[in-house]
């Protein structure tokens, strides 16, 4: 879903310069995993990660972060080539499904054990602003590469159960607005970085819960 900020900026861009909007390259991708047995949107994420040049950053905002092994492997592969991969997802306080934050901690720690170039950020609820759960699904690939805007979360519900769709957009002015939004979301007022030691020093029972939630219940998350 387009955020209100991105949509407003994009409308201004397209109204101001028709020639610029005509240069935008847009692809619509949809999948029906239960009927077609294909994961087209998840495949798109994986292919874009693999296509992002070594050393270039990747940013992903997803309400729920319980990625499949092949997405975890793609993140690790790119990060080992020197590219920082940043994931922004909900915290326990902001998540409308807290069990998914527990699963996210296991997935993030497994990735962090393999690379120092993976950074996890968690959304801060801002109740005074009427903001609780972050429900946006956004991604950017490389410093100047395309962005994804759509309905797809990096979890099993989106990958293997739900009909989901995304837009892949390659347009410089839109990307500039996207990067401004990313910078805002990663600021202290909006999110908090979670470090490897934060996850490794959690109580042992909580870590076991995190493992069991992600590994044994992944298909239903």
Out of 7-16, 118-127, 144-153, 194-203, pick the least confident.
Answer: 7-16
Q: In Å, how far are 130, 203, 214 from 156, measured between CA atoms? A: 28, 26, 10
How many Å apart are CA 125 and CA 122, to the nearest integer? 10
Residues spanned by the domain of 110 = 24-220
Q: Which residues contact 10 (CB under 8 A, 6 or more apart)?
A: 2, 174, 177
- Give a yes or no: residue 104 inside a domain: yes
- Give a yes or no: residue 8 inside a domain: no
Looking at residue 221, what is its pLDDT? 67
Q: Are 61 and 152 in contact (CB under 8 A)?
A: no
- Give a yes or no: residue 16 inside a domain: no
Number of folded domains that form the chain: 1
Q: Give the pLDDT confidence of 3-57 residue by residue, as tens digits.
A: 444 444 434 433 443 444 457 899 999 999 999 889 999 999 999 999 999 999 9
- Give a yes or no: residue 7 inside a domain: no
Out of 52-56, 122-126, 127-131, pick the least confident.
Answer: 127-131
- Give a yes or no: residue 202 inside a domain: yes
Structure pTM? 0.85
Q: Is the pLDDT of residue 113 over 60?
A: yes
The phi, psi pair for 60, rounded to 5°, reads: -135, 125
Here the CATH number for the domain that contains residue 94 is: 3.30.870.10
If one compares 178 and 219, the residue with the highest pLDDT of the two is 178
Q: What average pLDDT does range 52-71 have in this prediction?
A: 96
Looking at residue 204, what is its pLDDT? 73
SS3 for 86?
Answer: strand
Out of 7-21, 47-61, 99-113, 182-196, pick the least confident.
Answer: 7-21
Q: What average pLDDT does range 67-88 have in this prediction?
A: 97
Looking at residue 19, what is its pLDDT? 45
- Give a yes or no: residue 78 inside a domain: yes
- Give a yes or no: residue 196 inside a domain: yes
Instruction: Please name which of 69, 80, 65 lies closest in space to residue 118, comparing C-alpha atoms.
Output: 80
Pairing of strands 85-90, 118-123: parallel
Q: Is the pLDDT of residue 214 over 80?
A: no
- Give a yes or no: residue 129 inside a domain: yes
DSSP, res 68: -
Q: Is the pLDDT of residue 95 over 90?
A: yes
Looking at residue 22, what is its pLDDT? 56
Q: Outline where DSSP puts E strands in the chain.
A: 25-31, 58-61, 85-90, 118-123, 138-141, 147-150, 164-170, 191-194
Q: What average pLDDT does range 146-157 have in this prediction?
A: 96
Confidence of residue 78 (pLDDT cuts 50, 70, 90): very high
């Amino acid at each position: 879903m387009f955020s209100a900020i991105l949509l407003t900026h994009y409308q201004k861009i397209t109204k101001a310069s028709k020639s610029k909007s005509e240069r935008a390259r847009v692809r619509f991708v949809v999948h029906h995993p239960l009927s077609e047995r294909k994961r087209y949107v998840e495949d798109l994420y994986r292919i874009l990660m693999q296509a992002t040049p070594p050393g270039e950053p990747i940013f992903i905002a997803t309400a729920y972060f319980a990625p499949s092994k092949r997405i975890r492997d793609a993140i690790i592969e790119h990060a080992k080539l020197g590219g920082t991969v940043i994931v922004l997802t909900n915290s326990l306080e902001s998540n409308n499904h807290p069990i998914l934050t527990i699963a996210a901690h296991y997935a993030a720690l497994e990735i962090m054990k393999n690379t120092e170039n993976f950074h996890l950020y968690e959304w801060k609820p801002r109740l005074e602003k009427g903001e609780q759960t972050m429900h946006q699904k956004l991604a950017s690939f490389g410093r100047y590469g395309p962005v994804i805007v759509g309905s797809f979360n990096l979890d099993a519900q989106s990958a293997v159960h739900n009909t989901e769709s995304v837009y892949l957009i390659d347009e410089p002015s839109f990307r500039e607005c996207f990067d401004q939004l990313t910078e805002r979301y990663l600021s202290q007022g909006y999110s908090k970085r979670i470090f490897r030691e934060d996850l490794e020093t959690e109580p042992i029972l909580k870590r076991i819960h995190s493992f069991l939630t992600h590994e044994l219940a992944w298909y239903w998350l």
